[in-house]
Amino acid sequence: MASLVNKQSARKAGYSSPAGGPILLCVNGLGARIKVLREERGLLQKHVAEKSGLTASKVSQIESGQMTPSLRTLRKVADAFGVSIPELLEPPAGGESVHVSRSGQHPLVSFEDSSERWMVLGAGLFEGKVRAVIATLDAGGRGVSIDKVRIKPGQKKLFYVLQGDVALRHDGKIYRLSKGDSALVDGGAPHNWDNVGRRRARVLWVILG
């Protein structure tokens, strides 16, 4: 997932460039959400750091979007606020029939043991009938194992390649896929994916049920 955005997009989203340097994706939906929760509770960043076991510097970097937090870090922050990870990732829809998330506002999630990054779409990461993420993986990288996410037996997952050449590993078999290819898999069986191309790969995962 690119860390740089063009200046026009950054200005529209209310981002700024420090000292005329490259404009980073300084705020995303997750960082803004954490800041809102903290201010609603009248907490300082150091208070959140104490409750979560993180450093105040790391909390600040997450809020500003300078750091993409790992799933383990998200759990610590969610516990500090007394909320679930889905509640941390997205605010309540307020009963509206349409919940719009603008480009640049989608929460970003990383993993400790993989170069894979998730941009969370729609209704959170672990709850709801349909969940979707756009995952990116560096060249030669291997995606996260399914024990990092909560998958129930019988759940289906749609895998769609947006960019690059990948290998989908499912229940001991390997399927080579390229841009535009898709697969519907049993999410309860062991599965993973590799980037077998020479550039970054992007795929869409949709969890059904």
Q: Would residue 96 count as lying in a domain?
A: no
Are 74 and 123 part of one and the same domain? no
Residue 130: per-residue pLDDT:
65
Indicate if 77 and 121 belong to the same structural domain. no
Same domain, 120 and 80: no
Within-domain flag for 73: yes
Chain mean position to CA 133 = 7
Please indicate, yes or no, if residue 95 is contained in any of the structural domains. no
**Where in the sequence is the domain holding 132, given as residue range(s)?**
113-208
User: Domains in the chain: how many in total?
Assistant: 2
- pTM here is 0.62
CATH code at position 11: 1.10.260.40
Across the beta sheet with 173-178, the strand order is 173-178, 165-170, 191-195
Q: What is the pLDDT of residue 197?
A: 95
Residues of the chain with pLDDT under 50: 1-27, 124-126, 148
pLDDT of residue 97: 63
Q: Domain containing 168 — which CATH number?
A: 2.60.120.10
C-alpha 27/C-alpha 189 separation (Å) is: 36
One domain, residues 61 and 119: no
Distance CA 193, CA 204 (A): 12
